[in-house]
Amino acid sequence: MNKIIELAEENILHTYNRFQIVLDHGKGTRLYDTEGREYLDFFSGIGVYALGHGDKELNDAIKAQVDKLMHCSNLFYNEPAARAAKRLNDLTGMDKVFFTNSGAEAVEGALKAALKYAYLKDGKNDHEIIALDHSFHGRTIGALAVTGKAAYREGYKPFVADVKFGQMNDLKSVTELVNDRTCAVIMETVQGEGGIYPSDKEFIEGIYRLCQESDILLIIDEIQCGLYRTGSVYAWQQYDVKPDIMTTAKALGSGMPIGAFLLNKKVADASLKAGDHGTTYGGNPLATATADKVLELLESRHVLDNVRDLTPYLEEKLDALVRKYDCIEGRRGKGFMQGLVLKDVTPGEIVNKGIEKGILMLTAGVNVLRLLPPLVITKEDIDKMYEILDEVFA
């Protein structure tokens, strides 16, 4: 293990302070390191492993596609991409899909579509975008421009797009920013990385109406909260709203790198045209055959029922910890996207203690312990989580 860590540190750019273990393989809701130690997975590779690890049916579909055709570029049609896009449109009621290799790249495309839509409308090049504090949309320059965390932004200014920041769940703070140059509002339905802040009904529906009234495009980033995690296929579907553009990634490949942005008909008809946007790898048959299978399995295995059935139990167990330990101030979250708000102890300390005791978790914001288990966890997994966290906090 130490040899691998040394080799990595010698050769990989140090942009992460990694945990001092080397993960080797996984099975279901468990991960194993190179020393054979077992970990209960409550982070899913940052919300990726919807179906858990080593799923035979998914892996067989991937292997079959590897032997058939992995890549063909977007200059040709391929069947898996067409099928996966149809599934995404059917699940969302959106009109058109563009496949990407990552979440940030999906956000980039979404921003380009919004800016192009506004440009084709008034011919001007001075449009503004409204984003929210505590938001996270990715690390590329465009996605970073709409990410509301100073530490991530510093050193990369000026950004290409003019972006103003409002506050989550404060409608007035957003309305105040609107002017005739505003072309889009971008938001997560549940902010993940920024600290697990779910948007309340009045806020997201207010934003939706505001956008409708002024032909401002609503971009909903569902890269982390989307795909069944919060108890509906996409989290925005629990409200009386509909995005003009939405992004999805993370769980879409359940381990395979893939993302997408989706457009409604209004935007699809009047934004990016042939030649306006592209990617070499994006939408390749290997990644899209995986997404197609992931979407099929999430549905055929009734994963949504599992999330809905077990959410009250998960929340009950977490609330029991909140009551028991003074250093936990409260709980925020939705479905299988939960955060414990800590005081007098950093989430990093708790995550490290968790690794020692055999559970993998994440941090969010400055004081939040973030839990993003695979969507296929059982009641026993939740009991095990409680047992380990009880020890960790004690």
Ligand X SMILES: *Cc1c(COP(=O)(O)O)cnc(C)c1O
Residues that bind ligand X (CB under 6 A): 102-104, 107, 136-138, 188, 192-193, 221, 223-224, 249-250
- Cβ 179 to ligand X, closest distance in Å? 26
Whole-number minimum distance, CB 260 to ligand X, in Å?
11
Query: Which among 157, 372, 73, 318 has a CA at the least distance from the CA of 147?
Result: 157
Distance from C-alpha of 228 to C-alpha of 247, rounded to nearest angstrom: 14
- Kindly tell me which of 128 and 193 has the beta carbon lying closer to ligand X: 193
Judge whether 374 and 29 are in contact, CB under 8 Å: yes
Question: Structure tokens of 226?
Answer: 């989307």
249 versus 286: smaller Cβ distance to ligand X = 249
Measured from the CB atom, the residue of 31 and 143 that comes closer to ligand X is: 143
CB nearer ligand X, residue 339 or residue 382: 339
Decide whether 30 or 373 has the Cβ nearer to ligand X: 373
> Token match 């999330």: residue?
307
* Beta carbon of residue 119, minimum distance to ligand X (angstroms, whole number): 24
SS3 state of residue 41: strand
Of the pair 29, 147, the CB lying nearest ligand X is at: 147
Closer to ligand X by CB, 115 or 321: give it: 115
| CA-based nearest residue to 243, from 228, 264, 223 | 264
Torsion on CA atoms 55, 56, 58, 59, rounded to nearest 10: 100
Among residues 107 and 289, whose Cβ is nearest to ligand X?
107
Of 116 and 137, CB closest to ligand X: 137
CB 266 within 8 A of CB 228: no
CB of 77 to ligand X, least distance (A): 26
C-alpha–C-alpha distance, residues 52 and 45, integer Å: 10
CB-CB neighbours of 29 under 10 Å:
22
In the bound state, the residue with its beta carbon closest to ligand X is: 103
Q: What phi and psi, each to the nearest 5 degrees, are found at residue 24?
A: -120, -50
Cβ 150 to ligand X shortest distance, Å: 17
DSSP 211: H
Shortest Cβ distance from residue 250 to ligand X (Å)?
6
Residue 250 is classified by DSSP as G
Between CA 329 and CA 331 the distance in angstroms is 7
Strand partners, 97: 262
Sheet holding 23-27, edge to edge: 23-27, 30-33, 38-41, 359-360
* Residues 6 or more apart whose Cβ sits within 8 Å of residue 121: 215, 270
What's at 34, amino acid-wise?
A: T
The least CB distance from residue 362 to ligand X, in Å, is: 11
Find the shortest distance in angstroms from Cβ 230 to ligand X: 13
Residue 379 DSSP symbol: H
Rounded least distance, CB 205 to ligand X, Å: 20
- Length of the chain counted residue by residue: 394
